[in-house]
Amino acid sequence: MDVRQLRNFVAIVDSGSLSKAAERLLIAQPSLSQQLRTLEEELQTQLLIRSAQGVVPTDAGKTLYRHARVVLRQMEQIREEVREGGGSEAGPVAVGFPTTIAAILAVPLFQRVRTQYPGIRLQIFESMSGYIGELLANGRLDLAMLFRDSETRGISVMPLFDEELYVMGGHLVCPEIYADADIAPGARENGNDVASGTCELARLANVPLVVPSASNGLRLLIERSFSQANVELNIVADIDSLPTLIDIARAGDACAILPASALAPRDPALRPKAVRIVSPQMVRPASVCWSNSLPVGSATLAVRQCIADLIRELQADGHWTGITLRAPV
C-alpha cells in the first residue's frame, strides 16, 4: 500500500463512482479498478460496495478512508513546511463553518489570513453543523466551529462564546411578539435603528415556526427547549437553507429562531424583526474544534488564533451581537 493507492481510493469515495474518479484522476477506469482489487487483496477485505448507482465504502472502507485522509494531509503539510523553510505558516488549512457562523465570520477570516499569512491557502466549507462535524471526524477538515463546549472521542475543543437565540419575523401571524420591542437608546446600525426587546418562550406556544431539519443541532436545541419549558411547538416547515428561513420570517407568515449573526450580511432594511428569547433564554455554546488524529501544524495554529481574535474583535466592535465571550484558556 502506497500514497498513490491511498490518494486514488479517497478520490473514488469522494466521487461516488469509479468512472467519475477515473476522469478526475486522468487515468483509465480499468487501471483504477485493478488498483482497487489489489488494495482489497492486500488488506484481505472488501472496501467498497458496488451498484448501478455507484460505490459506497464498507465499514472497513470507511476506516481506510479516514486514515488515508490523515496520511495525505500529513504529506501535504510536510511538503509545504519543508518548501517554506520548516515550521512557517504555509500550506492548506481546511476550516468548516455552520451556515450562521459563516455568515459573519468567513469573509473576515479570509481577509485576515490573506493579509497576515499569504502562504496559507485557506479552504472554507459551509454547511449545516451536523455535516461539518462529520467532515471533521473523517479528517477532511483541520478546524471546525461547532456548537459544543466539551470534548468527544478524538475531538478537542476550545470554547469561545455562548450565543443567544432570537425569534424573528412572523409579524403577520403573531404581531404580539413585538408589542414590547422598542428602540435601544443610541443604538444604530448603518444608519438604521435597531429594535431591542425580549419575548418569553411561553409566548411562542403554537406560533408557526420554520426550522432546520431533524438532524440539525439548532433543531434539536429548539425541540429540547420547548419540551423542557412545556411549551407547545408548532413546526410548519423544515428548511435547510438560512436565506430561505430569513426570507420566510421577513415575509411574516411564520417565525424563525436564529442567532443574531444570521442577519449580519443583510442590509438592515431587508432584515426581519427580531427579539431575544427569555424565560428561559435559549443559548448554545460555540467552540473551535480539531481532530486529535490530525497533526496540528503551524498554519493550522495560526488560523485557529485568527478565528479566536476575530470573534473578540467583532464582538467588541458591535458587529457580532448576542454572544458572550468565554474566558481565554
Q: How, if at all, do strands 323-325 and 155-169 pair?
A: antiparallel
Question: Can 3-70 and 84-161+285-325 be said to share one CATH topology?
Answer: no
Element (H, E) at 245: helix 242-251
3-state class (DSSP) for residue 183? strand
Average pLDDT (274-285) is 93
For the chain, strand residue ranges (E) read 48-51, 54-57, 91-98, 120-127, 143-146, 155-169, 182-189, 192-196, 198-200, 208-211, 234-238, 255-259, 274-278, 283-291, 323-325
Distance CA(55)–CA(265), nearest Å, equals: 39
Which CATH number applies to 162-284? Answer: 3.40.190.290
Q: Give the residue, 133 or 192, on which the prediction is more confident.
A: 133
pLDDT at 97 over 60: yes
Report the pLDDT value the prediction gives residue 130, as an integer from 0 to 100. 81
Enter the C-alpha cell of residue 40.
Answer: 482489497
Residues 233 and 257 sit within 8 Å (Cβ to Cβ): no
Q: Where are the domains of the chain?
A: 3-70, 84-161+285-325, 162-284
More confidently predicted of 276 and 292: 276
Give the class (CATH, top level) of 3-70. Answer: mainly alpha
pLDDT in tens, 179-199: 765 534 333 343 333 346 889
Query: 155-175: per-residue pLDDT in tens?
Result: 999 999 999 999 999 888 888
| Euclidean distance between CA atoms 202 and 160, whole angstroms | 29
pLDDT at residue 248 above 80? yes
pLDDT at res. 189: 40
Output the DSSP codes for 59-109. Answer: HHHHHHHHHHHHHHHHHHHHHHHHHTTSS-S-EEEEEEEEHHHHHHHHHHH
Which residues are bridge partners to 167 per DSSP? Answer: 257, 275
**Which residues have a Cβ under 8 Å from the Cβ of 90 and sit 6 or more positions away?**
80, 81, 83, 84, 117, 119, 120, 299
- Statement: residue 37 has pLDDT above 60: yes
pTM over 0.85: no
Fold of the domain spanning 84-161+285-325: D-Maltodextrin-Binding Protein; domain 2 (3.40.190)
Q: If you search the block for the grid coordinates 443567544, which residue do you land on?
A: 164
Report, as an integer, the average pLDDT of 279-288: 95
State residue 192's pLDDT score.
Answer: 33
- Contact residues for 312 (Cβ-Cβ < 8 A; gap 6+): 325
Task: Give the pLDDT score at 138.
Answer: 81
Report the alpha-carbon distance of residue 2 to residue 207 in Å, rounded.
Answer: 58
